[in-house]
Structure formats: C-alpha cells, structure tokens
Amino acid sequence: MIRGLVIVSCLALTAGFVAITALPWLQTPDERPGLSAADRAATAAPVLHLRAPMPTDMTSITERPLFSAVRRPPPPEEPGTPLIDPNADLLFGEYEISGVVMLGDSAMAMLRDREGRLTRVRTGDQVETPDGIAVVTAITLNALTFRRGGDTVTATVQREGVTTE
C-alpha cells in the first residue's frame, strides 16, 4: 500500500514539473514558438550594462590604509604655521560689507553682522563697534570710510565674480 502511494506521488510530481515547463507564460521569449524577432525584443528583459568605477587618486589610501590596525593620523602641521583668523576680513571684526548702492549723488551700503542681520548705512550714520562708535564719512563703489575716535578706517568692497574693464 505505501509502495503504491509513493509511486503515485512520484508520478504526480513528475507530471506537475512537465506541466509547468510546458506553460508558455513561464517560458522566456526565445523559447516561445511562433514569436517574431520584434516580439521577442519587445518582451525581452532589459539588459543592464555595469561598468567598473573609474580609478581615482588612491595615494592617501595606499599610504594610510583605511582598515589597517596600524593606521596613524596624518602628520601634524609644521611648527610655526600661522593660524588664519576667520574674522580677519570682517569690518571692525563684526561686519561684512554685503553691497553698495549708488544712485546719483547718494550712496548706501549694506553691512551684515555675525548673526546675519543686515544694516543700511549712509554717510553720517553711526556704526557700533567693539571699540566704540564709528561714523561713516564716505561711501564709494570701491570703499567705505569710517572715522573712529581720531582714526580714519577705510574698508574696501570685495566683489566676487565681477570684472571691471
């Protein structure tokens, strides 16, 4: 009895595999009979073309391998290298000249403080500085002139991407 059940199960399993392989929707387009070349091309799976990445400069990785147990930090800077002051280009260490507008004889400058606020100044206006008050004495397209105490300070206007001929 068990031997007959095993034989029937094996026959049923074999018949199932034969039926599955004979189904046309499970066959690839090249295996289907009666399809033209255009139909095969339309139903074919897309082909991915993968390229290896282009080689880049690997000197830093070869000198200091990323996953090496003896990886060391980069060499320190040479002694005596001056530190760059990030506020060196700021006017009075507080303001950046955002722009200058001239209309006829009148001129106005826009100053941006460290917090990003804009302040409009004209000739005669006062600007707060860490050392006191500075008075705007002249505004041109190229420079702003201030009087602070007994000193005169001239700040040039930096223009990015503007060429003068």
Give the per-residue pLDDT at 91: 76
Euclidean distance between CA atoms 116 and 95, whole angstroms: 9
Q: How far apart are CA 65 and CA 57, in angstroms?
A: 14
Strand segments (E) across 13-117: 96-103, 106-112
pLDDT tens digits, residue range 71-92?
Answer: 777 777 777 766 666 666 677 7
Confidence of residue 108 (pLDDT cuts 50, 70, 90): very high
Q: Are 146 and 135 in contact (CB under 8 A)?
A: yes
> Does position 163 have pLDDT exceeding 60, yes or no?
no
Is the pLDDT at 119 greater than 80, yes or no? yes
3-state secondary structure of 131: coil
The pLDDT score that the predictor gives to residue 14 is 84
How many beta carbons lie within 10 A of that of residue 127, not counting itself?
20
Q: What is the pLDDT of residue 165?
A: 42
144-159 mean pLDDT? 85
> What residues contact residue 94 under an 8 Å CB cut-off, 6+ apart?
113, 114, 128, 129, 130
pLDDT in tens, 55-74: 677 777 777 667 777 777 77
pLDDT for the residue 23 = 59
Question: Per residue in 11-65, pLDDT tens?
Answer: 888 877 766 666 555 555 555 556 666 666 666 666 666 676 666 777 777 776 6
Percent of the chain with pLDDT over 70: 65
3-state secondary structure (DSSP) of residue 105:
coil
- The reported pLDDT for the residue numbered 121 is 92
**Mean pLDDT of all residues in 93-106:** 86
